[in-house]
Amino acid sequence: MKLLEGIRVLDMTNVLSGPFATLHLALLGAEVIKIETPGSGDLARKLGNVPKYNQELMGTSFLAQNANKKSMTLNLKTEEGKEIFRKLVETADVLVENFRPGVLERLGFPYEELARLNPRIIYCAISGFGQTGPDAFKPAYDQIIQGLSGVMSINGDERLNPLRCGFPVCDTVGGLNAAFAIMAALYYRERTGEGQFIDIALLDSIMPLMGWVAANLLIGGQQPVLLGNDNFTAAPSGMFRTKDGYINIAANQQEQWENLADALGLSELKTDPRFQERDTRKANRFLLTPLLEAKLTQETTAHWVEVLNAKGIPSGDVLSLEEALTSPQAQHRRVLEEVETPGIGKVKLFNLTAKFSKTPGQIETPPPTLSQHTEEILAGLGYGADEIRALREKQVI
């Protein structure tokens, strides 16, 4: 049995935050139906670094987030399209959208109407700022939220700040938050039979991820310190130069610091008043780093990773993205799954990273072509071949 077997999700989302949420539901076995605009579909179909795929509406950005889903096209501005949508809502368990607030309401489908059609439906709306508040109706992309959330202000160092995160972290975390909330709402429905409305804001979603930094400000009264690749909670903890590159070392505990000093032949630093105690060591990190790097640069990263890990000092190489994705550990964990995709060939996509012992999730079907499943879904709603042909002629689908 699949974890979400029998759950039907109407996915009205575009680009990243919403598709990332519904991807996790699809990997767990839900039937996720992407409802897309006829002719164009999800904007992500045109996004990516391979122009040929963009022209075929199968851009790399779309491929990354839409395995295991079905695609149907539907023009919700037509009466016929609205009627089909009502029938879909009656059969659905979850509806997810990431429009600006009020879009579905203007089309005649506020939550109250959907709940009237199906009291068990769980409606999850994802937006930049949420459905309420002074900024609710402002447009928002990931970088806008990175700036407004404070994320960019705490990245980098005195030479490079503000600095955005190198991937769309707010969109991604917003999608994870939505998936988590939907699962919680499904659990509540199991006990009560009641659906509900979920309001997810990207701004709300990202802020708690800065919990430790925010706590230092809110509780300890300390403004964030720009430390670049150093860890503000401990020293020595961060990235250091070696003979052939860089190494991450996290000597966060006193014992780890003392073992590090011994491993580098710097045992005298353990009793140096500048470095002996944790907080003074943090205050003097910029004096400590050159002393450590004088030793670290005498050997390779691989040498130090082996030596330090053997002594219980957490350390690791700083890999390129390609090296990370092809590492033995990532391969062992099956982080990526190779999927045969018609018209493209084999593509590597991220698998479900939660490992369930009884209900494992996995990629079973490639991302769908635009409208690939429209006829199948309409037939399931009771539409005949002639009716479907007429709907296509009227550009309802």
Q: Which of the residues are catalytic?
A: 171
d(CA 4, CA 206): 27
Count of residues in the chain: 397
Q: Give the residue among 29, 26, 33, 31 at the shortest CA–CA distance from 1.
A: 29
d(CA 73, CA 64): 20
Q: Annotate 321-337 with DSSP letters as a single string.
A: HHHHHTSHHHHHTT-EE
Residue 363 pairs with which residues in a beta bridge? none
Residues 6+ apart with CB under 8 A from 95: 9, 10, 12, 89, 114, 121, 122, 123, 124
Residues 6+ apart with CB under 8 A from 5: 29, 30
Element (H, E) at 212: helix 211-218
How far, CA to CA in Å, does 10 sit from each of 32, 86, 100, 390? 6, 11, 17, 23
d(CA 233, CA 176): 26
d(CA 135, CA 178): 20
